[in-house]
């Protein structure tokens, strides 16, 4: 074992770990991004400084969103004015709301309760107050 | 440096640290073992979870990925710091053998 061996161990170990990190992240992201076919669509519209939700049957909610536990939902998110970001921290769901563009994110709530919906992109004076309530029912 | 000398003299063999203490295969397996465990956990996890949940639980998957990547990051940090420490001690100026080489 010459002096170069420690360098090869160093290079080999770090390269192996970084390859594993890349592969693991790619697999996880692919799995998470796949939207289930049976997911119900909810149209989310952001504007300064509140959220509007439209269910598949046409009913609309402002500042509140009622969902059922154990069911998958696909959110089609857009904005009427500036760029916002639709974020539900508890369910690790976040996607930009961009004017003229529909971005999609999904999740299936598994816990009953009330959760925070917030804007995660600075969008003006009342950005910090741009919140809504997610109510997950059994 | 006296402390290092004593540690190496009585704890591990300093003269042949690079040669006899651990072979490269042993060292690599030591480094990669936690990663192997970290990569097996989600496989076992999802095998059990499939029975209970109809859908992928994004919250759990994302946080599990975060913890696995943190494990990897700390291992990379440990490898880098370990190699730096090894080189600093192994090739220190205070070592008599190194002084002789320098001359």
B11 part of a folded domain = no
**Would you say the ipTM is above 0.85?**
no
Residues in contact with A69: Cβ distance below 8 Å, sequence separation at least 6, in sequence order:
A109, A110, A111, A112, A136, A137, A138
Residues B38-81 have pLDDT tens digits of: 666 666 665 555 455 688 888 899 999 999 999 888 988 888 89
Taking the Cβ of residue A12 and every Cβ of chain B, the question of whether any pair is shorter than 8 Å is answered with yes
Query: Measured between CB atoms, which of A24, A70, A72 is closest to B39?
Result: A24
B4 part of a folded domain = no
User: CA angle, corner A33, sides to A31 and A35, nearest 5?
Assistant: 100
Number of domains in chain A: 2
At A85, which CATH number?
A: 2.60.40.420
In eight-state DSSP terms, residue A108 is: -
pTM of the predicted model, to two decimals?
0.70
**Domain carrying residue B93:** 23-102
Taking the Cβ of residue B69 and every Cβ of chain A, the question of whether any pair is shorter than 8 Å is answered with yes
In this prediction, residue B93 carries a pLDDT of 81
Among residues B48, B81, B45, B84, the alpha carbon closest in space to that of B64 is found at B45
Per-residue pLDDT in tens (0 to 9) along chain A, 138 residues: 556 777 787 788 888 888 888 999 999 999 998 999 999 999 999 999 999 999 999 999 999 999 999 999 999 999 999 999 999 999 999 999 999 999 999 999 999 999 999 999 999 999 999 999 999 999
B13 part of a folded domain = no
Among residues A85, A12, A96, the alpha carbon closest in space to that of A49 is found at A85
User: How large is the C-alpha radius of gyration of chain A?
Assistant: 20
The answer to whether residues A55 and A114 belong to one domain is yes
CB contact under 8 A, B18 and A1: yes
CB contact under 8 A, A13 and B31: yes
Phi, psi of A80 (to 5 degrees): -95, -20
């Amino acid at each position: 074992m010459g002096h170069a061996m420690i360098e090869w161990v160093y290079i080999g170990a770090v390269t192996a770990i970084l390859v594993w990190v890349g592969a693991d992240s790619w697999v996880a992201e692919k799995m998470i991004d796949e939207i289930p076919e049976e997911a119900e669509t909810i149209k989310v519209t952001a504007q300064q400084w509140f959220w509007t939700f439209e269910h598949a049957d046409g009913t609309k909610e402002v500042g509140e969103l009622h969902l059922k536990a154990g069911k998958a939902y696909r959110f089609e998110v857009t904005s009427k004015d500036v760029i916002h970001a639709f974020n539900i921290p508890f369910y690790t769901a976040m996607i930009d709301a961009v004017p003229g563009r529909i971005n999609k994110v999904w999740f299936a709530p598994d816990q009953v309760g009330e959760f925070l919906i917030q804007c995660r992109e600075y969008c003006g004076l009342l950005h910090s107050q741009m919140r809504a309530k997610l109510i997950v029912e059994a | 440096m006296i402390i290092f000398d004593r540690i190496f003299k009585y704890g591990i063999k300093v003269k042949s640290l690079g040669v006899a203490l651990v072979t490269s295969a042993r060292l690599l397996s030591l480094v990669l073992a936690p990663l192997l465990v970290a990569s097996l956990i989600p496989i076992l996890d999802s095998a059990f979870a499939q029975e209970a949940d109809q859908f992928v639980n994004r919250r759990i998957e994302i946080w599990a990925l975060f913890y696995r990547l943190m494990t990897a990051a700390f291992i990379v940090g440990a490898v880098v710091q370990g190699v730096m420490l090894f080189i600093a001690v192994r090739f220190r100026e205070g070592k008599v053998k190194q002084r002789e080489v320098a001359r």
